[in-house]
């Protein structure tokens, strides 16, 4: 089974691409890390309790104060309030974001692995792993292909974000964009994986949805050519071969990660 890592940055169109891939003619199952991230912090979960214990004492509006949303395990998290607490470039916000990620990421990883096993057993040709921080979390290691959805102009990204989330101030929007890193750098990292063989694919979303659909169609034609469906079935009926291919893929991706880190360090040294 081909694991297609789908990533980008906030307001670049990643969710739109995910929706396109989940419908005809692709009909691919989607493992959405954002949905799982909400699931693992629902009231009553270990993640919810850890967040309340850490942030509750100095974030008065951390929980929603609405009787309509009350549950037997408490009030849901006020996500905008939590976002204001962790998004930003100050040392305090970076520290809080690190703590929050340390609570959420391990639980989300476990849910992802369970979903991957489920789809593998069902004989899926491919599955889309939709993760905003795919590279940053290291989840690209398990992906045969990585698709980055990006825009060339950060101003377009900011405008789309504020149009989508009208409650955000200009500062809030800028903090959220910066917290997920420059999407153009993610595009470069995807291309570093190798455009031949579709190990790294970039879908640019600088225009309208019609153009985006054309970009996705071209990208998926490239992916399907490099990993045909018969290959997925061969790996399913021959588990030892499947394990060998998975180990080989991990080794290649690990070496690519190290090569990317060396490249970045060399570029920094030249400055």
Every domain of the chain and the residues it spans:
1-29+125-271, 34-123
CATH code: domain 1-29+125-271 is: 3.40.50.300
Nearest CA-CA partner of 203 in 3, 1, 2, 15: 15
Q: Can you list the pairs that 79-85 forms with residues at least 24 positions away whose Cβ atoms lie under 8 Å? A: 80/167, 82/51, 82/55, 83/172, 83/176, 84/172, 85/55, 85/59
Query: Which range among 88-97, 144-153, 160-169, 240-249 has the greatest average pLDDT?
Result: 144-153
Return the minimum-mean-pLDDT range out of 146-150, 180-184, 196-200, 214-218: 180-184
Class of domain 34-123 (CATH, top level): alpha beta
Average pLDDT, the chain: 90
Q: What is the pLDDT of residues 92-139, one digit of tens each?
A: 888 999 999 999 999 999 999 999 999 988 889 999 999 988 998 899
| Helix H or strand E segment including 100 | helix 91-121
Q: Do 1-29+125-271 and 34-123 show the same overall fold?
A: yes
The per-residue pLDDT for 123 is 86
Mean pLDDT of 189-198: 92
Task: Please report where in the chains the tokens 């905008």 appear, as a residue.
Answer: 80
Backbone angles phi and psi of 126, in degrees to 5: -155, 160
Say whether 49 sits in a helix, a strand or coil. helix
Rounded CA separation 266/271 (Å): 9
Task: Enter the tokens of residue 41.
Answer: 């912090």
């Amino acid at each position: 089974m081909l694991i297609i890592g789908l990533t980008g940055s906030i307001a670049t169109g990643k969710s739109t691409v995910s929706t396109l891939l989940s419908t005809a003619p692709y009909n691919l199952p989607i493992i959405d890390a954002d949905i799982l991230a909400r699931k693992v912090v629902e009231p009553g979960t270990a993640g919810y309790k850890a967040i309340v214990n850490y942030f509750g004492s100095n974030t008065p509006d951390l929980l929603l104060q609405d009787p309509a949303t009350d549950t037997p395990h408490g009030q849901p998290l006020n996500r905008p309030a939590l976002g204001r607490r962790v998004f930003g470039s100050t040392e305090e916000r970076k520290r809080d974001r690190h703590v929050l990620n340390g609570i959420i990421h391990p639980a989300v990883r476990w849910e992802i692995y369970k979903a991957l096993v489920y789809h593998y057993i069902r004989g899926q040709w491919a599955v889309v792993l939709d993760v905003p921080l795919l590279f940053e979390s290291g989840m690209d290691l398990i992906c045969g292909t990585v698709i980055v959805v990006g825009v060339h102009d950060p101003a377009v990204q900011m405008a789309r974000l504020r149009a989508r989330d009208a409650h955000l101030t200009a500062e809030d929007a800028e903090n959220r964009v910066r917290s997920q890193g420059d999407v153009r750098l993610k595009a470069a990292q995807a291309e570093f994986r190798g455009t031949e063989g579709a190990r790294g694919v970039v879908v640019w979303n600088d225009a309208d949805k019609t153009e985006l659909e054309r970009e996705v169609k071209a990208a998926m034609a490239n992916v399907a050519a490099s990993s045909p469906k018969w290959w997925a079935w061969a790996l399913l009926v021959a588990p030892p071969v499947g394990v060998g291919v998975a180990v080989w893929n991990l080794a290649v991706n690990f070496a690519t990660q190290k090569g990317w880190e060396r490249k970045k360090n060399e570029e920094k040294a030249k400055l």
